[in-house]
Each structure stands twice: as C-alpha cells, then as structure tokens.
Amino acid sequence: MFRESKNVPPETGEDAPITAAAMEAVFADCYDYESRELHIGGREANRVRLCFIDGLVSGSDVAEQIIKPLTDPGRFGGEAVGSRAISMMLGGSVYVYTAKSRKALGEAVTDLLNGFCALIFDAERTAVTFEVKSQQRRSVDAPKEEKVVKGAKDAFVETMKVNTTLVRRKLRNPHLKIKEFSLGERAKTAVTLVYIDGFTNAGIVAEAARRVSRIEAEGVLTSSVIEENIVDNYRSPFPQVISTERADKFCMNLLEGRVGILADGLPLGFLVPGTFSQFMKVPEDHSAHYLVSSALTLLRYASVALTLLAPAFYVAVAMYHQEMIPTRLMQSMIDARASVPFPTAMEVIMMLLAFELLQEAGIRLPSPIGETVSIIGALIVGQSAVEASVVSPVVVVVIALAGIAGYTMPNQDMGSALRLCRFFLVLAAIALGMFGVATGCGLLIYHLASLESYGVPYMTPFAGAEGRHLGRALLRRPMTVKRDREPELKTGSGGEARL
Amino acid sequence: MKRAVLALTALGLALGLVSCSGMTILSNYRRLENIELVRTITADAAPEGVTVSICGAAGKESGPRQYECSGPSMGVALGELMLMPLGRDAILSHAESLLVGEELAKTGMDQCLDYMERFSETRLDTGVLIVRGGRALDLAAGLTGKETPAPDVIAGLGKNISRMGEGYFFTCREIASSLAQNGCALVQCVKGEEGEKLFEERGELDIRPAGFAVLGTEGGPAYLTEEETLGTLVLLNKFRSKNMDLEVEGTVLTVSVDRAEAGFEPVFEDGALAGIDIALKLEANVICLTGDGALTDALYRKSAEEALSRRILAAVNAALRRSRQLGADFLDLEGVVRRRAPLKMERSGESWAEVFPRLALNVRAESTLLRTFDIVDPPDVAGEEENRSPWEKLIESLNGS
C-alpha cells in the first residue's frame, strides 16, 4: 500500500538549483539512469553524488578516470571538500579532458543526455560534469545509397562527432566553422552548421542559422524535419536541400560556397542552397574524364525529359495525334492494341501504378527478396500481361523506358518529384493531348523558375543567370582549366546574397 | 489556401475520371485499335461525279483492305466513305499517294488537288500520280495481293523510280507551288501492266512509270514522251541514275549515268534577256560492252562520251521544244533566270510569256566516262608517267638497264 509523501517535491525547472534529489526527480522512472554516492578522498564525511545515463557513458572511463582519482586520499586530502574539491576537479585532478561546472539543473540534465556524467555537490548547489561518452557507435563505412566507383568511401554515420571529424579531416582549415544548435523541445538533438568563414556568403550563413534555430519540433529524428523547415518553398515536390551521405560530396559543396548542416543521429549531411543543376551532378563527375563526365551529364538531362514526357507524349499521340506517328510504327501499334480491352488512358495509368507498386515493394522488402520481386514483376508479370492482352507491348516499353530514365537521377528526391510530375503530365495529356502536355510543361517550368533557394534562383544557370554560365551546368571543364566559382553563390569577400 | 487545395484536388479528380472513362475533352479522340490507316487514295470519274477508294495497310491478322464510294465530289465521296461502311475511323494523315484516273485528270484534277491541300488531315507531301489508260481504282485493286497491299507496291515504285531515271513522284506541295508560280505543273504518270507474278502474295498487276503529265495546259493534261521525261528530269536536276545503251563504233555500250547536272546562265543583250546557256555535266560508268570495243582506248572512250552527250542533249532539247510548244514553263526556266539575275530581269520589264518563245537556248554537254571496270587491261590514264611512284620508276629503270 502506497502512502502519499508529505515531503515537498524538489524544484525541477531549467534554472532550478542542482541537487541530487532534483536530479533524481527529473530522471524518475528512467531505467537507464544510474546514481551512486562517492566519498571524496575516501572520507565518509565528504559525500558527493555521481549520476550518469547507463549506455551513454563508458563505464570503464568513469571508473578509471573519475572514481579512481576522486576517491584517492593522496589526491583529495582532508581539506578537499566542497568548493575546494570542485576547483581541484576543474583544475585537472580528475583525468577527463572535458569538465564543466554547472549551476542550473537544465544544463546538467542536458550534459547527462549528451554522454556526460555529473558529480553533484548538494551543499554548493553545483554539479561538475565530465564527458565520458560511450564509444559504442557504427563505424565509418562505404556509402550505401550513393555508390562510389572512383572516390572516397567514407560515409557519414549517426554520430555527430564522427561526421564533423570526417569533414575536418578533408578540410584542414581553421576557417571551417562548425556552429552548434540544440533542436527539439524534447529530443534536444545537436545540429551543426558547417561553413567556411570568409568564403561562404555571410548572408546565406546567417539565413541558414536563422532557419535552423527556429525549427520547432519535438525532435530531429528524420531528415524531413530539417529539410522542410529550412527550404524556401516546402510545398514544392522538388528538393531544395542537397542531402548526401558522402563526406567528399559534402566537402566539395562546402568548397563551392554552400552551407552544410549535420544532425546528430542522422547519417546524412544537408547542403544549401540547392539548385536544379546541382541535383544533376554526382561526385564521380570530378573523377571521370571531363568529356565522359560532360556526356553523362547531358545524358542525365535527356533522362529528365524522357522520364517526364515519354508516357505523356505516348498518351497524347496515341489518343489524339495519330498523324504524328510514322506509318509503320502506327500499324504496329494498331495491331498491338487490337486485342487490348482497356482504353489507352487506363492502360497507361494502370502500368504507371503497377510500376510504382513494384518499385515500392522492391524498396520496402529486404534486399534479396526485393530484387526477386522486381525481377518477377518486370519479367514475368510484364510478359504475362502482354501475352494476356491486358496491356500492349508499346505501353510496356514506354513505361519501362520512362522508369529506367528516372533511375539515372543522382538524387532520389529529384527522381520522386519527377515521378509525381509524370503522373500530372499524363493526366493532362489524357485530357487535352499535346495541348495538355504543353500546358503541363509550361506550368512545370513556371513553377521551377519561380523557386528560389536562399536567394539563389532554383533554375540557375538556366534562368536568372547569364547565358555564358550555361555550359557550367551541362559540361565539365578539364581540371587544368581554372574553374570559375558559381557567381550566384556570391562567395568570397564582398556581396551579400539577395535574401 | 484550403480553397486552392480543394480546387486542385477536384480538378485532378475530374481529369482522372473524365480521362479514364474515355470521355476526353478534346474532340479528335480516336481509339487506336479502331483506326483504319489509309495509305493510298484513288479518284476516278464516275456518272455521279467521282468514285474514290481508300487502301488501308495490311494488318497482322487482316489482309489488305480497299473500300470505295461515289459522290458528286471527291470531298463528299471521301466523307461518306469515312462515315459509312467501315465501322472504323479512317484517317488520311498517313496517305502516301493519290492515284487519279486519266478520265478524271482531264476535268477534275483541280478538285483532287484542292481537297488534298485544304483538308486538315491530308499531308502536302502526298505523291500524286495519274493512271494512264485506265481507272485508278482498278489499278489499286490489281496491285493488291493476298498479303501485299497496293500502297506497298506504289511506295516501292516511289523509292526506285528516281534510281531508274524514269520519273519522279511530285508531291501535292510541289504541284501546288509550280501551278501558283508557273501556271503549270508536272505530275508523274503510271500504268498497270500484267507482269510476272514472282510472288504468290503479289497482285495481278504491276505498276510501271509512264512519263510525266503537264497540268495547266488547255484541254487537260499534256503527256510527255519517255525522252522528254528524261530531258525534263535532267533540266530539273532531279535525275539520279539511269542505265543507257549507246552505240559506239559499231558496238553497244551499256553505261550507268550516275550524274547529270544542269547549270543555267542567262544571257542579256542590251538589257533584255536574249537566251540561256545550259551546261550539262554528265558522269557515267561502263556496265557492259557488247561487241569488240576497245574500252581502254582513249579514242573509243571519247566516242562513248560523245554518244552519251548526244543522247542526253537530244532528250533535253526535246523537253525544251515541248515546253515551248505547250507554252508552259514546266521546266521553271523563269524561276531559274529570276534567281540567277533578279535585278536584270526586273529592269528588262518584259513578261516571260513574251520572252520565252524567242529565247536562244544553247545547250552543251560535257560527259565523262569514269570507270570501265576492265581489270585485265586498265585504262591508259593521261599523265601516267607523273603518277607513277618512285618505286615503280626504279624497277623500270633496273629492268631497262
């Protein structure tokens, strides 16, 4: 039988004084919260409370670097009590490289949650916190999503410190600044802003800092919490933040004058401003021969047109503008369609949906099964559908072509946006034929041209820039030729971004 | 904002429903499988006015199809044909050829061309052919075999006619343009012949070129002879190649004429156009020699070249004579002169009709026999001494010493 406590509960606000009882109250019902009493210098009268979160700290480090020297009578003698002991600890009598003196309960709690342990001095209303983070973390590995053929194979992991180290190792420059923010009302996730001071446009840095600091969320556990909060137009399906798991790509963009954002717990780096042409590039462009890279970049742009327009163009031509089809092809199409019971519109929409279903199933299922599903879907179901006259072979070819062209997108977010637009264009083509396709394309171009990312036109250098910079987006110059900086990023001294 | 989202959602749903139900917004929606692909149209004179027929392409399961209908005009007859018997949507946008019967060509060529040029579906690059000595409908039916549709046979002739040097498929655009500029135009004529039925799937008839017809002359089209057609092809620079038999020093030399280009130079005297110098450049290769001819002999070759020049000159002169005789500038000489000397022509102030009959047309030809294909005895090329390699000269000097 429980009895209601007559004691007054300790104050647990952010600025409340630090006491062992207050800390216990904050972490009440926390299975992983541990605390124990220590005797400084081995003297029972000199009591102090050690608190930490089990799992976040390294037990051996706590024992070796804190408990052992703290209880050593030779080190902490009779007079080493209270403020004297605190002063000794901060002065290096405890072998931990980071030690902080905390007066407010909120600060101490945050430290505990970040892998510190705290020694609480009730009488002084003070805690000394030591960084003794656990080393249990995923090791740096090759990127999983962004395949590397010829380049660095270190990808970001979930630990912020590891990620900042990866960046720091590639950019050994004191001007590389890493500004920290704590985000999330409850999760208190550490988010850092990475930029090269004096090189990256100060306006973009300030704006990125403003947007990151005003993120209101319970926690930063998914990438969209950051992405949707820092973009200019979150309603647009087109990505405006470059996200990458590759440290080399992250650093390359920092060197071009972009601002990077890293979040603890996310194995990704985010970069702003994001422009359309940037989503068409891959780091391999800088590894391969410049002619090959240029050809591949052009191919990617052609793929954009193909993945967007192929189904819509087919629908428009097959339903309304048959005169555009060459005679032999037209005859083949008529023959192929003769036994298909569904109208062309329904046939194409069905195939597009089936393609999306297969893709979704392939992604969600574990890798070996996912691949099997894709193969079964593409080969067996597709072949059977054609043989059963449910769809015509031409439609299968068109949809497959559009799908494959979509897979050439270096950025999956861009690929997804294009897939969405493909549906929109197909519907427009079904309703209005080529007029619909033209109208749809017009609206799409209007939307893209009206987007801005941190004051930089999204379609630059195709729109909102001088024509002479067009080649930079489409072609790569040899490394021996001096590279121009991207003028729209306004890097270096002078010039503020239009915000 | 909510309103905009609602409106967009409603629009999307409406579009999806409308389109998936087949009730599309545009009026020219045609189901692909219901389309009858028309590749050849025929038009003939009939008691009611015009009889038209359309020849569809052969499908995978159905054989070649031909449908006919009569009406007071070509437009009415075709309109009825597309509505009436098919149960399918006939589209004329893929029509490659229009065959017009000789009878209709006399009186109703205008309405055929008018229809082809004004109807929104038909293409201006449709070839127009006049069927000599018969009805276009019968020719198309005769060409149609079990599996070979008439349009395929006609398309085959279209591809080869220029290579054979026997004509050229003029399109609606070219005919209309020529009629507008010169008041006359050329049209290719064809005829049906009972030929060897090499393949079971071929039709009973074979199609053969039958020279050019000149539209825009009084009393219906005027038909050119084979020689005049050849001359016309050369003067229009539409000649590609032709095999010819030449009589050279008692032998028959068969050559393939692979190049025949005509260059025009207007001659002005006292500010008035006095004549046109026409220079022909001919190139040919020997294919076959019947008799004892010395192919490698320079004199024999020169005789052969002269024979070729004479042959082509005769054809060209015949075409020029016929043009003057008909009073129809179907060779577009006026256009050529105006392009070569526009200011001088402008200043002369004379009309072409006045100038053309009295123009001095000086035609000269320059022929070259390029290859004799005589491996055993190669030709004695001029300047052989200079062309020999130092190695050859060394061997010869050693042999001599």
Enumerate residues 6+ apart whose C-beta is below 8 A from A432.
Answer: A439, B25, B26
Q: Residue B1 has which token pair?
A: 């904002």
B336-373 per-position pLDDT tens digit: 999 999 998 888 888 888 888 889 999 999 999 887 77
Distance CA A380, CA A402 (A): 19
Residue A494 confidence (pLDDT): 41
Q: Phi, psi at residue A322, to the nearest 5°?
A: -65, -20
Q: Is A338 in Cβ contact with B29 (below 8 Å)? A: no
SS3 state at A55: coil
SS3 state at A77: coil
Contacts of A335 in chain B (CB under 8 A): 59-61
Cite the beta strand spans of A409-449 per DSSP E: none
Question: Under a CB-based contact definition with an 8 Å cutoff, are residues B296 and B377 in contact?
Answer: yes
Per-residue pLDDT at B197 exceeds 70: no
Q: Is B32 in Cβ contact with A322 (below 8 Å)? A: yes
Helix (H) or strand (E) holding A121: strand A116-121
Q: Is B20 in Cβ contact with A435 (below 8 Å)? A: no
Distance CA B298, CA B237 (A): 29
Q: Residue B160 has which token pair?
A: 């080869």
Arithmetic mean of pLDDT, B298-314: 92
Arithmetic mean of pLDDT, B324-331: 92
Our measurement of the distance from residue A466's CA atom to the centroid of its chain's CA atoms, rounded to an integer in Å, reads: 31
- For helices A290-319 and A344-364, the axis angle rounded to 10 degrees is 140
Contacts of B95 in chain A (CB under 8 A): none
Put simply, whether B9 touches A (Cβ < 8 Å) is no
Helix (H) or strand (E) holding A303: helix A290-319
Selecting from A343, A427, A432 the residue whose C-beta is nearest the C-beta of B26 gives A432
Nearest to B332 by CA among B249, B214, B222, B250: B214
Put simply, whether A312 touches B (Cβ < 8 Å) is no
Residue A43 confidence (pLDDT): 82
Neighbours of B371 (CB within 10 A): 15
Work out the minimum CA distance from B185 to partner chain A, whole angstroms: 28
Selecting from A330, A349, A433 the residue whose C-beta is nearest the C-beta of B26 gives A433
Which residue shows structure tokens 């969320």? Answer: A217
Put simply, whether B4 touches A (Cβ < 8 Å) is no
Question: Under a CB-based contact definition with an 8 Å cutoff, are residues B271 and B348 in contact?
Answer: yes
Selecting from A330, A345, A433 the residue whose C-beta is nearest the C-beta of B94 gives A330
Q: Is A340 in Cβ contact with B12 (below 8 Å)? A: no
Quote the DSSP letter at residue B192. E
Beta bridge partners of B69: B52
First-to-last C-alpha distance (Å) of chain A: 64
Work out the minimum CA distance from B36 to partner chain A, whole angstroms: 9
Please give the residue that has the higher pLDDT: either B20 or B130: B130
Distance CA B136, CA A499 (A): 74
Minimum CA–CA partner of A430 in chain B: B19
Contacts of B15 in chain A (CB under 8 A): 427-428, 430-431
**Intervals of chain A under pLDDT 70:** 1-8, 78-81, 368, 370, 482-484, 493-499
Q: Phi, psi at residue B267, to the nearest 5°?
A: -115, 125
Put simply, whether A350 touches B (Cβ < 8 Å) is no
A193-219 per-position pLDDT tens digit: 999 988 898 899 999 999 998 888 777
Taken in order A304, A310, A312, A313, is the CA torsion positive or negative?
A: positive
Work out the minimum CA distance from B96 to partner chain A, whole angstroms: 9
Helix (H) or strand (E) holding A38: strand A33-39
Please give the residue that has the higher pLDDT: either A445 or B217: A445
Taken in order B284, B289, B294, B299, is the CA torsion positive or negative?
A: negative
Residue A93 confidence (pLDDT): 82
Distance CA B90, CA B113 (A): 20
Q: Is A331 in Cβ contact with B32 (below 8 Å)? A: no
Minimum CA–CA partner of B28 in chain A: A320
Put simply, whether B15 touches A (Cβ < 8 Å) is yes
Length of chain A: 499
Put simply, whether B35 touches A (Cβ < 8 Å) is yes
First-to-last C-alpha distance (Å) of chain B: 105
Domain segments of chain B as ranges: 33-223, 226-377
SS3 state at B251: strand
Put simply, whether A329 touches B (Cβ < 8 Å) is no
Nearest to A167 by CA among A71, A279, A253: A253
Put simply, whether B176 touches A (Cβ < 8 Å) is no
Q: In terms of DSSP bridges, do strands B185-194 and B127-131 run parallel, antiparallel, or are they unpaired? A: parallel
SS3 state at A323: helix
Enumerate residues 6+ apart whose C-beta is below 8 A from A448.
Answer: A238, A276, A458, A459
Q: Phi, psi at residue A56, to the nearest 5°?
A: -85, -25
Put simply, whether A316 touches B (Cβ < 8 Å) is no
In the stretch 356-385 of chain B, residues with CB closer than 8 A to chain A read none
Selecting from B12, B30, B33 the residue whose C-beta is nearest the C-beta of A338 gives B33
Work out the minimum CA distance from A399 to partner chain B, whole angstroms: 18
Put simply, whether B60 touches A (Cβ < 8 Å) is yes
Nearest to B372 by CA among B255, B244, B240, B245: B255
Put simply, whether B159 touches A (Cβ < 8 Å) is no
Residue A373 confidence (pLDDT): 72
Selecting from B20, B29, B33 the residue whose C-beta is nearest the C-beta of A337 gives B33
Cβ-Cβ pairs closer than 8 A, A with B, add up to 80
Distance CA A194, CA A3 (A): 54
Residue B24 confidence (pLDDT): 60
Question: Under a CB-based contact definition with an 8 Å cutoff, are residues B313 and B230 in contact?
Answer: no
Work out the minimum CA distance from A405 to partner chain B, whole angstroms: 25
Contacts of A338 in chain B (CB under 8 A): 33, 59-61
Work out the minimum CA distance from A385 to partner chain B, whole angstroms: 18
Nearest to A351 by CA among A388, A378, A321: A378
Distance CA B103, CA B199 (A): 31
Q: Is B22 in Cβ contact with A345 (below 8 Å)? A: yes
The reported pTM is: 0.76
A237-262 per-position pLDDT tens digit: 999 999 999 999 999 999 889 999 99
Enumerate residues 6+ apart whose C-beta is below 8 A from B256.
Answer: B241, B242, B243, B284, B285, B287
Residue A482 confidence (pLDDT): 64
Contacts of A427 in chain B (CB under 8 A): 12, 15-16, 19
SS3 state at B286: strand
Q: Is B16 in Cβ contact with A427 (below 8 Å)? A: yes
Put simply, whether A340 touches B (Cβ < 8 Å) is yes
Distance CA A344, CA B210 (A): 45
Q: Residue B368 has which token pair?
A: 């070259």
Minimum CA–CA partner of A345 in chain B: B20
CATH T-level topology, domain B226-377: GMP Synthetase; Chain A, domain 3 (3.30.300)
Percent of chain B with pLDDT over 70: 86
Question: Under a CB-based contact definition with an 8 Å cutoff, are residues A442 and A332 in contact?
Answer: no
Q: Is A428 in Cβ contact with B16 (below 8 Å)? A: no
Nearest to B356 by CA among B373, B341, B375, B337: B337
A43-84 per-position pLDDT tens digit: 888 888 999 998 888 888 888 888 888 888 887 776 666 788
Nearest to B131 by CA among B78, B188, B55, B53: B188
Which residue shows structure tokens 């970049």? Answer: A297
Put simply, whether A200 touches B (Cβ < 8 Å) is no
Report DSSP letters for B42-87, one per residue. Answer: EEEEETTEEEEEEEEPP-SSS---EEEEEESSHHHHHHHHHHTT-S
Interface test with B, best of A327, A337, A437, A443 (most B CBs within 10 A): A327
Work out the minimum CA distance from A391 to partner chain B, whole angstroms: 13
Question: Under a CB-based contact definition with an 8 Å cutoff, are residues B179 and B128 in contact?
Answer: no
Residue B35 confidence (pLDDT): 85
Residue A488 confidence (pLDDT): 74
Q: Is B94 in Cβ contact with A327 (below 8 Å)? A: yes
Residue B201 confidence (pLDDT): 65
